[in-house]
Amino acid sequence: MPACHVKNGEGKRNIEQKYLYEIADIVPEFLEERGFIAELSGFSEDRYSDKLKEAVRPYYRDYVTFPRSTGYQSIHITFYDNLARCYTELQLRTKDMDDFAEIGDVNHFGYEKLQEARRTKRDEIPVGECIYFDEAYQRLTKLQQLELAEIDVNMFKAINNQLINDGCGLFRGRQILPFEHLSRFQNDLID
């Protein structure tokens, strides 16, 4: 919201949030007309914002009215894409919310570092205690050792393990989507 559009006495943040919720109210119907089906969020009723229309509330995870403990704010909704036969999450944010999420104190690189720290805690579940965990941990370890630039699965292109284009945009240092793409082929690649 450009400052020139904010009248005296109006708060920019309040105006932006008002528009954000107005957009959220129309997104499910707009995308349904284009072959997407909104998925129920699973949030309990006390986590729905009264800023959303009652008809769309069950589909959203509202982290604007109910921010995460880190201060992260966004409105999330998940859709099933009938054409691509996959799920897609849409996150609605103001510019300030997006800046905080992408380059603020809790940006995705920080999240990745936290995940990395959690992955290094292998000894919390001793080897042999849970065969399913052992198998999953072994697969993850092997996938992380792959050189993504050397793999041709026609779903993404990588210059190296930090510069990855998954078809939705350039990922720097994030290997989440390539691993999801590879999961179908992982036995062929790592055996």
- Residue-by-residue DSSP string for 73-139: --EEEEEEETTTTEEEEEEE--HHHHHHHHHSTT-HHHHHHHHHHHHT-GGGS-TTS-HHHHHHHHH
Same domain, 184 and 135: yes
The predicted structure's pLDDT at residue 103: 76
Please check whether residues 68 and 127 belong to one and the same domain. Answer: no
Q: What pLDDT sits at residue 65?
A: 94
Q: Which distant-in-sequence residues (6+ apart) come within 8 Å of 177 by Cβ?
A: 156, 164, 166, 168, 171
What is the pLDDT, as a whole number, of residue 157? Answer: 67
Mean pLDDT of residues grouped by 10 in the chain (191 residues)? 68 89 96 93 83 94 92 93 87 88 72 66 78 81 73 64 58 46 48 48
Q: Domain end: 86, 103, 120, which one? A: 103
Structural element, H or E, at residue 28: helix 12-32
- Give the β-pairing of 163-165 and 170-172: antiparallel
At residue 152, the pLDDT reads 66
Which contiguous run of DSSP H or E holds residue 15? helix 12-32
The predicted structure's pLDDT at residue 186: 47
Q: Which of 45, 73, 103 is the last residue of a domain?
A: 103
Looking at the fold, whether 85 and 16 belong to one and the same domain comes out as yes
CA 163 vs CA 82, 90, 147, 156: distances in Å = 30, 23, 12, 11
> Do residues 22 and 66 touch, judged by C-beta distance below 8 A?
no
Q: Which of 73, 103, 133 is the last residue of a domain?
A: 103
Task: Retrieve residue 169's tokens.
Answer: 């945009």
* Residue-range definition of the domain harbouring residue 137: 108-190
Please check whether residues 55 and 73 belong to one and the same domain: yes
Q: What is the pLDDT of residue 39?
A: 94
Residues 119 and 93 reside in one and the same domain? no
Tokens matching residue 107: 């940006």
Q: How far is CA 93 from the centre of its chain?
A: 13
Q: What is the pLDDT of residue 171?
A: 47
Q: For residue 122, what pLDDT is reported?
A: 65
Residues 116 and 82 in one domain: no
Cα dihedral 173, 175, 176, 180, rounded to 10, equals 160
Number of domains in the chain: 2
- Main-chain phi, psi angles of 67, to 5 degrees: -65, 155
Judgement on whether residues 59 and 144 belong to the same structural domain of the protein: no
